[in-house]
Chains A and B, each alone.
Chain A
Amino acid sequence: MLLNIENLKVEAKGDEGWTPILHGVDLQVDRGEVVGLIGESGAGKSTLGLAALGYAHGGLRFAGGRVLFDGTDLLQLPDRQRRAFRGRRVAYVAQSAAASFNPAWRLLAQFCEGPAIHHTAGRAESEAFARELYAAMHLPDPQNFGLRFPHQVSGGQLQRAMVAMAMACRPDLIVFDEPTTALDVTTQIGVLAAIRRAVEETGAAAIYISHDLAVVAQMADRIKVMRHGREIEEAPTQRMMTAPTQDYTRSLWAVREFRRPTRVLPQASAPTIAIRNVTAGYGNMDVLSDVGFEIPRGSTVAVVGESGSGKSTTARVMTGLLPPRLGRIELNGTALPPRLADRTTEQKRAVQMIYQIADTALNPRQTVRQILSRPLQFYLGLGGKAREARLHELMEQIEMEPAHFLDRLPGELSGGQKQRIGIARALAADPEFIICDEVTSALDQLVAEGILRLLSKVQDKTGLSYMFITHDIATVRAIADEVVVMKGGRIMDKGNLAEVLDPPRHDYTRQLLASVPQMDPSWLSRRISEGAA
């Protein structure tokens, strides 16, 4: 047994003393084994992962239990000796590589830090090892890759460089904390393959933390499901995927199955909004070239693509924040003024937006009541009783108790609740068309599913049109009537959901779909053998 965490309790400091966030959790990892940790945010996955390094974040403390690493209890060691373990025997790969590298040092120099501190290898030796790992991870020009600065490589490459860095001292255990969550699917597959290779080649054990079941299924030999700081269940991957015993686990598995019931759309009605041959960009650089599609009344059009494909820029053009260089936006057949400032209040009201990160989309100093009242007053001139009545209606529409939530600040709401308020704010304007910019990608799967259901329900009731910007194919399948596939500012393919995706009509669509992790644990191996990464 390499790592044996027994009955671990961790507490967080709050306003009223210490509150437990891990209620006595066990975790065993054998040499060469990969254990997956799964759960929604706040489940305590990361806390447990970091505990394997004998570390707790600021404001947290260990309140009981043991962390036996190769027989030594890390929690009993003095700081100095504990530090000798970290990096050398057990390493950590964080979610955001961009935030974890020091931007002022070259990648290779940062790689060599660990071995130098722990005296495991000389400079020349660790540089050679770095090149070897860079090559194994299919990084471009492995001989000179390390001479670049962090900002000179792409997000996926940086994440792979961080995985390499974790291996620098040849540790016995590596903790991967959501290492691919921030990446596009086509990039993610390369990183997953790199991690797989690294683990296999060095024989290191690993703890793989993720909220994405399909990803964990590829990486782990054994999966542990956590919730609210407790273990729900644990089983070998194959058995966990096919026969979960707990309801909670089954509900996690089922989320990916959400499909909106097929609807019959009114045919041949004029589109709510149409984008006609739009070319737009910043300065001299065109981000969008000749983009055009229509959003039929009452339908949902999903715009899919990787980061940098121009999805969000399209939204900015539609809202008037970025006037296009060529082309125009039509609302109900009439061209909208390109600049936001030139649009009438009525035109602004018709087009609303819901944002990805609800935290930054709601003013933290305004109560829910203030946030929702403003559009009611601004657009519709509602005041007094009429406004109050509409507020209650809106809250009921987003399935939140008005009396309970209206006077709260956003800081007192959960992520899903905040996103619902964001939806209510858009609905308050009584719009014709809503742009949903990655509205579910920052949420846990269960919560995200709730948001998708809510949006579908609202659409069925009000006949709104949605443009759904997303990089997640599962979301597209769940909610969209039509799909627009974008890459590098151009439209690759557009049409009905079934036409575009089943089977994928365009080469790029096929590539996107093939990169989406499947629940089948052999998916990654198959993709690697097909030469995808």
Chain B
Amino acid sequence: MIRLLKTMPPTAILGVAVITIYAVVAIFAPMLAPHGEAEIVGAQFEPWSATYPLGTDTLGRDMLSRLIWGARNTVGVALVTTALAFAIGSVTGLLAAALGGWVDLGLSRLVDVLMAVPALILTLLALSALGPGVANLIVVIAVLDSTRVFRLARATAMNVMVMDYVEAAQLRGEGTWWIITREVLPNISAPLIAEFGLRFCFVFLTISALSFLGLGLPPPMADWGAMVRDNAALITFGDITPLMPAASIAVLTVSVNFVVDWLLHRASGLKD
């Protein structure tokens, strides 16, 4: 572990450190937050003070507490969504690459159709049809994002499928599932892991954007995107409080990218 740490570039160490802090905050939010998630504790828009380190919001809820609860909601939902997108995208992508023919054609065209419509508009459309709610949000974003994962999984898997060791497995008589999980998946895990990091950032941003538009996590759940929107008016008074949740998003995104860069670099075997 320590040896691994020594070989890591400083950016990656920073990234891992920041992600760890976020994870700790998200997991222990109930203990760390001085107040409840939806608890109204003071007047509206109170300035920074000893009682309320980051002031209060539109409804008089403690900003710091909501920031901490927000880590749990926003990051948690983004994580679940990304995982789901990967489950859908990589399984279908691998199947398309392994089976080829009509399966590949059908899946690929379906993905083309989904990708042809601008993602945000499609998301808005689907969410207004299904109605808001955490589950709907997760499913809609996951399905739309899985199209990107599908493409990556399919393209990388295609490169592996033409390898002689896959042919050897086919000649042996191995089934499709074995070939996908044992021969192909281990060889495309590096780009998939890297994509997971990037996709996570995008999902995270999408959720924040949707929250900003009012279609994200339902109130009173604390959510960084919505917190920016709710308190945006303060900026006109020179108060930087609404930038705090925005900064939280930015810092996490950058950190994840640092780690992903390092993972990619390591997996590709490039020497500086």
A residues sitting closer than 8 Å to B (CB atoms) are: 13, 59, 319-321, 340, 343, 345, 348, 351-353, 355, 357, 360-366, 374-375, 378-379, 425, 429
Given the complex, which residues of B lie within 8 Å of A343, measured CB to CB? 173
B112 contacts partner chain A, Cβ-Cβ < 8 Å: no
B187 contacts partner chain A, Cβ-Cβ < 8 Å: yes
CB within 8 A of B186: which of A363, A378, A425? Answer: A363
- 12 A-B pairs whose Cβ atoms sit less than 8 Å apart in the complex: A348-B171, A353-B167, A353-B171, A361-B164, A361-B165, A362-B165, A363-B186, A364-B187, A365-B186, A366-B182, A374-B172, A378-B174
Within the complex, the shortest CB–CB distance from B192 to chain A, in Å, comes to 13
Do B170 and A340 touch (CB < 8 A)?
yes
B6 contacts partner chain A, Cβ-Cβ < 8 Å: no
Do B172 and A365 touch (CB < 8 A)?
no
CB within 8 A of A360: which of B164, B170, B171, B271? Answer: B164
Given the complex, which residues of B lie within 8 Å of A352, measured CB to CB? 171
Do A378 and B172 touch (CB < 8 A)?
yes
Q: How far is the CA of A362 from the CA of B163 in the complex (A)?
A: 9
Given the complex, which residues of B lie within 8 Å of A366, measured CB to CB? 182, 186
Q: How far is the CA of A375 from the CA of B171 in the complex (A)?
A: 11
Within the complex, the shortest CB–CB distance from B165 to chain A, in Å, comes to 4
Given the complex, which residues of A lie within 8 Å of B174, measured CB to CB? 378
Do A360 and B172 touch (CB < 8 A)?
no
Q: How far is the CA of A29 from the CA of B204 in the complex (A)?
A: 64
Given the complex, which residues of B lie within 8 Å of A340, measured CB to CB? 170-171, 173
Do B187 and A319 touch (CB < 8 A)?
no
Contact with A along B241-272 (1 / 0, CB 8 A): 00000000000000000000000000000010
B183 contacts partner chain A, Cβ-Cβ < 8 Å: yes
Do B168 and A361 touch (CB < 8 A)?
yes
Q: How far is the CA of A33 from the CA of B221 in the complex (A)?
A: 82
Do A321 and B171 touch (CB < 8 A)?
yes
Q: How far is the CA of A362 from the CA of B183 in the complex (A)?
A: 10
Q: A360-B163, A361-B165, A364-B187 are in contact. Are A375 and B172 (CB under 8 A)?
A: yes
Q: Which of B211-238 contact A (CB under 8 A)?
A: none
Q: How far is the CA of A360 from the CA of B271 in the complex (A)?
A: 22
Do A429 and B172 touch (CB < 8 A)?
yes
Contact with A along B183-211 (1 / 0, CB 8 A): 10011000000000000000000000000
Given the complex, which residues of B lie within 8 Å of A429, measured CB to CB? 172
CB within 8 A of B168: which of A13, A345, A365, A425? Answer: A425
Do A353 and B168 touch (CB < 8 A)?
yes
Q: How far is the CA of A321 from the CA of B171 in the complex (A)?
A: 8
Within the complex, the shortest CB–CB distance from A272 to chain B, in Å, comes to 17
Q: A360-B163, A363-B183, A375-B172 are in contact. List 6 more A-B contacts (CB 8 A).
A: A340-B173, A348-B172, A361-B165, A361-B168, A363-B163, A378-B172
Q: How far is the CA of A89 from the CA of B96 in the complex (A)?
A: 53
Q: How far is the CA of A364 from the CA of B174 in the complex (A)?
A: 18
Report the interface size for chain B: residues with CB under 8 A from the other chain. Answer: 15
Do B173 and A345 touch (CB < 8 A)?
yes
Q: A13-B271, A364-B187 are in contact. Are A378 and B167 (CB under 8 A)?
A: no
Contact with A along B156-186 (1 / 0, CB 8 A): 0000000111011011111000000011001
Do B164 and A355 touch (CB < 8 A)?
yes
Given the complex, which residues of B lie within 8 Å of A361, measured CB to CB? 163-165, 168
Within the complex, the shortest CB–CB distance from A36 to chain B, in Å, comes to 32
CB within 8 A of A321: which of B167, B172, B187, B271? Answer: B167
Given the complex, which residues of A lie within 8 Å of B182, measured CB to CB? 363, 366
Do B165 and A363 touch (CB < 8 A)?
yes
Within the complex, the shortest CB–CB distance from B100 to chain A, in Å, comes to 13
Instruction: In the A-B complex, list the 7 residue pairs whose CB atoms are closest, starting with the nearest.
Output: A365-B186, A361-B164, A363-B165, A355-B164, A360-B164, A348-B173, A360-B163
Do B165 and A360 touch (CB < 8 A)?
yes
Q: How far is the CA of A360 from the CA of B162 in the complex (A)?
A: 9
Given the complex, which residues of A lie within 8 Å of B183, measured CB to CB? 363
Chain B residue with the shortest CB-CB distance to A12: B271
Within the complex, the shortest CB–CB distance from B19 to chain A, in Å, comes to 26
Q: How far is the CA of A355 from the CA of B163 in the complex (A)?
A: 11
Most buried by A among B168, B182, B271: B168
Within the complex, the shortest CB–CB distance from A388 to chain B, in Å, comes to 20
Within the complex, the shortest CB–CB distance from B251 to chain A, in Å, comes to 32
Q: How far is the CA of A360 from the CA of B183 in the complex (A)?
A: 12
Q: How far is the CA of A360 from the CA of B187 in the complex (A)?
A: 12
Within the complex, the shortest CB–CB distance from A303 to chain B, in Å, comes to 18
CB within 8 A of A59: which of B163, B187, B271? Answer: B271
Q: A348-B172, A348-B173, A429-B172 are in contact. Are A363 and B187 (CB under 8 A)?
A: yes
Q: How far is the CA of A3 from the CA of B173 in the complex (A)?
A: 58
Within the complex, the shortest CB–CB distance from A346 to chain B, in Å, comes to 10
Given the complex, which residues of A lie within 8 Å of B187, measured CB to CB? 363-365
Q: How far is the CA of A353 from the CA of B173 in the complex (A)?
A: 13
Q: How far is the CA of A518 from the CA of B163 in the complex (A)?
A: 35
Chain B residue with the shortest CB-CB distance to A435: B171
Do B171 and A378 touch (CB < 8 A)?
no
Within the complex, the shortest CB–CB distance from B7 to chain A, in Å, comes to 9
Given the complex, which residues of B lie within 8 Å of A348, measured CB to CB? 171-173
Given the complex, which residues of B lie within 8 Å of A13, measured CB to CB? 271
Do A355 and B168 touch (CB < 8 A)?
yes
Q: How far is the CA of A360 from the CA of B166 in the complex (A)?
A: 9
Within the complex, the shortest CB–CB distance from B198 to chain A, in Å, comes to 23
Q: How far is the CA of A333 from the CA of B178 in the complex (A)?
A: 32
Q: How far is the CA of A353 from the CA of B168 in the complex (A)?
A: 7
Q: How far is the CA of A408 from the CA of B165 in the complex (A)?
A: 17
Chain B residue with the shortest CB-CB distance to A344: B173
Q: How far is the CA of A320 from the CA of B168 in the complex (A)?
A: 12
Within the complex, the shortest CB–CB distance from A348 to chain B, in Å, comes to 5
Given the complex, which residues of B lie within 8 Å of A357, measured CB to CB? 164
Given the complex, which residues of A lie within 8 Å of B168, measured CB to CB? 353, 355, 361, 425
Within the complex, the shortest CB–CB distance from B6 to chain A, in Å, comes to 12
Q: How far is the CA of A108 from the CA of B152 in the complex (A)?
A: 38
Q: How far is the CA of A343 from the CA of B173 in the complex (A)?
A: 9
Q: How far is the CA of A248 from the CA of B102 in the complex (A)?
A: 57
Chain B residue with the shortest CB-CB distance to A359: B164
